[in-house]
A and B are shown apart, each in its own frame.
Chain A
Amino acid sequence: MTLKLGVPSKGRLMEKTFDWFADRGIDMRRSGSDREYAAQVDGADVDLVLLSAGEIPRELQAGRIHLGVTGSDLVRERIPAWQDVVRELQPMGFGFADLIIAVPAFWVDVNSLDDLDAAAADFRRRHGHRLRIATKYHRLVREFLRDAGVADYQLVDSQGATEGTVKNLTAEAVADITSTGETLRANHLKILPGGLIHRSQAVLFKSRTADWSNGNKEILEELTERLHG
């Protein structure tokens, strides 16, 4: 068995990951044709596994890969008690995105989580159902709002175009990833002050459940030395 490293299989995240490793003397490239999901690593004793960024948390959790590059938001959302399952080896300084709560800009009365809670209580009384927040980050949002003591809301699932849900009357507020806030503004939403749930970036994770025998531990040590080098 060799050490397996999972990296995103396409797009900017893949390119940036390759660049990041190249800067540290480890050359990665896709092998064969552009459509083939195979890859090679030069300069380290590592097997490269190309995966969708969203599947990397699951593979780390199952221990089928030893190391993996993915967003810190995805690991926190998808792996219960994630600290017991994976360890953050290194934040990689790209793929920045904030998971935030956003509300319509004309809600001038809502400028804190306290306000959101009070507005939700009034909303439920007036409209007969809980204030709906559209998101795909159910676990992170629920834990965040529970810790903040926000009640009378409910989460509705939205796997894409989340910013449009308010206008479409399927939600009253949203919790989503944003990097510049551009899309939010275009949809007449504002970031709720105090509503920053998580600052995400690409992170190199180590699986605690993978098999670290057969020299894999030594390979990792050598690798980390070069990454810090």
Chain B
Amino acid sequence: MTDKITVRAEAERLFAFFKASGAMAIDADLLQPADTLLDLYGEDIRARAYVTQDPNRGEMMLRPDFTVPVVQTHMEHGGEPARYTYLGEVFRKQQADSGRATEYLQVGYELFDREDPERADAEVFSLFNEVLSPLGLRPATGDIGILKAAVETLTTTDRRKGALMRHIWRPRRFRALLDRFTGRDDMDAARKALLDRVAKDGAGTVVNAGGPEIGLRSREDVLARLAHLQADAAEPPISRSEAEVLDVILSLRETLPNAHQHLRDITVDLPGMAASVDRMARRMDALAAAGITVEDLPFEASFGRTTLEYYDGFVFGFVAEGRPDLPPVATGGRYDALTRVLGRGQEIPAVGGVIRPELVQQLREGLA
């Protein structure tokens, strides 16, 4: 059992490192309004965060992360570019049998910079790499932007692309959608029967026969979706060859330079991927310039897909090898879209990450 004082000292050390690297210290309330977090993360956050009730302020959550309040503070008051660091508790419900901590310290670093996103990615990664280097952790990197670009290049309707984009963070659902759009799965019988009826009797009649209009989802909403379903049924499937390329990208696991080369070759057939592969190349150069040995750096195209986070570009993690019982010691990534959602019309490219000091402390003790 590591005692809290020792962990706190480790956290202070990491915090001091980030401050010395030029970040401004920032703090956030322990009680966060639940509606912002719920709107952002969906119902899943309720399973992971502690919700409490205040008769005046409504539902509040015990801070499940710093990212959201830090982005909010920055967008209200911050100049640009800005570097922030923070130290404090976060609270997460855990599975009853997992034995994982429900309350722990996080030390984080967030960088808001419009000028050169790839250099910013490299700055954050190399800082984490430097402060964690004595622990001999295994780094992992990925790029959700590559996956998004791959979906964007598919020859199909915006609606289908939109459905795939929406589920990039849910691999199983993504797969099911892809199988349907490529015709690997047949249209289900109920859908077919419905479309036959609509073709025969007209959409209005079919909806009226269903029952009276009740609730906020209106008759108009139902008719609009029926029209989409009809249009979609008339669409040709996504071609097998395109789906195969997507599979290749999804399962790509290589060193960063090899992964880049592989993706570069793919852009010959899919020129739409070129911009994001160029970004990857610039990031690789920026990482090398920051002193990272990119030749050995692992790249996994699907890394970061299963987290709750809002990452939509570069993603990274540091894990203790041979300790599958431990969560990652550090994780981070780019979350431009999150700033767009929170900024109500404004946005600022942002990248950052968090370290769990109690794991750092535990691993250092093991080394000593």
Contacts and interface: CB of A to CB of B under 8 A. Distances in A.
A166 B214 CA distance: 7
B38 interface: yes
Interface residues of B, number: 42
Contacts of A169: 215-216
B211 A105 contact: yes
A145 B43 CA distance: 10
A167 interface: yes
A199 interface: no
Interface string B148-169: 0000000000000011001100
A1 interface: no
Contact of B97 (A81, A117, A152): A81
B211 A122 contact: no
Contacts of B228: 122
Contacts, number: 116
Given A104-B211, A172-B215, A121 B43 contact: no
Interface stretch (B69-77, B170-178, B256-264): B170-178
B44 A142 contact: yes
Interface stretch (A4-12, A26-34, A108-116): A108-116
A130 interface: yes
A103 B224 CA distance: 17
Given A108-B194, A118-B225, A188-B211, 8 more contacts: A129-B39, A130-B43, A142-B43, A149-B176, A151-B166, A151-B170, A154-B43, A166-B215
A121 B163 contact: yes
A192 to B, nearest CB: 11
A139 B166 CA distance: 23
A66 B277 CA distance: 62
A118 B176 CA distance: 13
A92 to B, nearest CB: 26
A153 interface: yes
Contacts of B115: none
B35 to A, nearest CB: 10
A121 to B, nearest CB: 6
Contact of A107 (B163, B172, B176, B222): B222
Dominant SS at the B interface? helix
22 contacts: A80-B96, A104-B210, A106-B207, A106-B212, A106-B214, A108-B210, A109-B226, A114-B176, A118-B163, A121-B162, A122-B225, A123-B216, A123-B217, A130-B43, A138-B46, A145-B43, A149-B167, A151-B170, A152-B42, A166-B215, A172-B216, A188-B214
A127 interface: yes
B54 interface: no
A43 B314 CA distance: 69
A15 B37 CA distance: 46
Contacts of B172: 149
Nearest to A167: B214
B217 A84 contact: no
Contacts of B221: 119, 122-123, 126
Contacts of A155: 43, 46
A48 interface: no
Contacts of A131: 217
A154 B38 contact: yes
Contacts of A228: none
Contact of A105 (B46, B173, B210, B229): B210
A35 interface: no
A119 B163 contact: no
Contacts of B188: 111-112
B364 interface: no
Contacts of A112: 188, 190-191
Contact of B191 (A106, A111, A148): A111
Interface in A52-94: 80-81, 84
B289 interface: no
B173 A149 contact: yes
B278 interface: no
